[in-house]
Structure 1
Amino acid sequence: MNDHFGFAFDFDLAELAPADTASEEAVERFWSGDLTALSQHHTTPNGSHSFVIAHDQSATWGVPGAPQVMAIAVARDLNRFTYALETSHHATVSFAQNWLVERGCPPEKIAKVRDGLLKPADDLTVWVERQIRESGTRYEVLDNHTSDSDPCETWTLTRDSRANEAPIRVFHEEWDHDAGTYTMREGAFADVGAARAWLDDRSGPLPEPPEYSDHNGAVVRARVARIALARSAGVSATPKASMDAPRTPPAGPVQRPVQGRLL
């Protein structure tokens, strides 16, 4: 359930013990006073897992460019009376969603965000965000930056493990507060140096990924068209799951994003 956004960040841990040192330290550092829930999902009926995305107001007066979106994952072992708690900061909601999906949250359960926020400006934005959300460990996050004043934007610098060409990808999000919307675009570069050069001077448009224009371009256009049809019908473009249980995370180690900012 993620239709109730007045969440007080009470994870019902009072009668549980931390499962490990990392969880104990995470709880000690956790401060909810600066957090506003943007999306959440709690498993039913026994409440074994909680997944929350929140805006961290404290980041706005911290290190310039620091990510402001926090993802929180709580797993409760009700047989052993223990819990595991993890948090991670991201530049955008879609990368926070991806982090939670990798920890077992069904993507369609965390896709909806609270009312009153900026809306996607177009169908391509919706498609790019879903691609990030459901990408697994495809994108290795190398750096990110958030600016909530002129320009109002975020960018996330990544390495695409599936790209045969231009594997360095920049996901650029721009906010238009007057229109109440935002856009998300993906750019492709041969190397990190080229990507940083574009981020520094913005001398031209963000270069589109090669797959947007080759034989796969038809696939991209078809997927965007399906999203447009779903949005016009007023339904979610994300497939529905049949169960409310957490997804099984992929086998093997989970790739952790590396936080940072443009130096």
Structure 2
Amino acid sequence: MSDIPDFHLDDLAPSDANSEYAERQFWTGDVTVLAEHRTPPDGSHSYVVAHDGSVAWGAPGEPQVAAIKVARDLSLNTFTFEVTYHATVAFAQNWLIERGCPPEHISQAGGDLMKPADDLTLQVEQQIRESGTRYEVLDTQTSDSDPREAWTLARNSDAGQTPIRVFLDEGNFSTRTYTMREGAFADVDAARCWLDSRSGPLPEPPEYSDHNGAVVRARIALSRSVGASATPQTGLDATRATPATPVQHPVQGRLL
């Protein structure tokens, strides 16, 4: 893991106005790389998950994890540059995987970061990474108060009666661990009501019910067997709420 990303853009020109703007606006001075992959053998593509500490200078609650894709056309000496922001590392990883990054090269991250507290956290994160385009992100929120948390509000296109999902990430600095939980709601209003009031436990999705328990346990065992415990969570220490779409303005592993 490096503190300042090197996008290897020397002697290359942006291929379009969006790439030029995104590359200029993405200030690397307060960025910590959490995971990255550069395609061999020519290095034409780079995929990066990074924590952007400069977000703390902006509006409270904005997501702090940047997913960055750089594509280089070495025959034309040009590049394209895309950046999106996410509340959690798993959603950033999903965005990169959907854009061609091999999952095995971006699903792990290094550094002195908080670790998953339990197997269910591993399973939920793996589910997000492997979800393809199933989740439409509607909103996010990142809090730097104590207890620290980040949540993602999403619509699950594969769900039936409870298509609205809340993915809640909560950190514990005394144990240097975090949990990720998924909640299911019938509509956006019900999800926002729960987020505002926290009047009861996060309602589990139907697929977590007892009759599907064997499937859930199998997924948990699989996530444990592939070593996902090394996956970091969002950088709330170093400290935006938007859907995960490419941005044209400045862009979680908790950094300890």
Normalised to the residue count of structure 1, the TM-score between the two structures is 0.84
Partner of 2:105: 109
Partner of 2:123: 127
Q: Identify the match of residue 206 of structure 1 among 176, 198, 202.
A: 202
What letter is aligned with 1:198?
W
What letter is aligned with 2:178?
Y
CA distance in 1, matches of 2:213, 2:74: 48
Deviation at 1:42, TM superposition (A): 1.1
* Deviations 1:163-185 (CA, angstroms, capped at 9, x unpaired): 01200000000000110100000
Deviation at 1:30, TM superposition (A): 1.7
Deviation at 1:218, TM superposition (A): 2.1
Q: Identify the match of residue 185 of structure 2 among 181, 189, 211.
A: 189
CA distance in 2, matches of 1:95, 1:166: 20
CA distance in 2, matches of 1:100, 1:168: 23
Q: Identify the match of residue 132 of structure 2 among 108, 131, 136.
A: 136
CA distance in 1, matches of 2:6, 2:129: 25
- The DSSP-based 3-state class of the residue aligned with 1:221 is helix
Deviation at 1:204, TM superposition (A): 0.5
Higher relative contact order (CA 8 A, sep 6+): 2
**Alpha carbons 1:166, 1:188 under 8 Å: kept:** yes
Partner of 1:243: none
CA RMSD of aligned residues (A): 1.7
Partner of 1:257: 244
**Alpha carbons 1:142, 1:258 under 8 Å: kept:** no
CA distance in 1, matches of 2:199, 2:245: 27
Normalised to the residue count of structure 2, the TM-score between the two structures is 0.86
What letter is aligned with 2:119?
D
Partner of 1:86: 82
What letter is aligned with 1:196?
R
Deviation at 1:100, TM superposition (A): 0.8
Percent identical across equivalent pairs? 63
Runs of 4+, deviation exceeding 4 Å: none
Deviation at 1:7, TM superposition (A): 5.3
Partner of 2:220: 224
In structure 2, the gaps of 5 or more residues are 230-242, 247-256
In structure 1, the gaps of 5 or more residues are 239-255
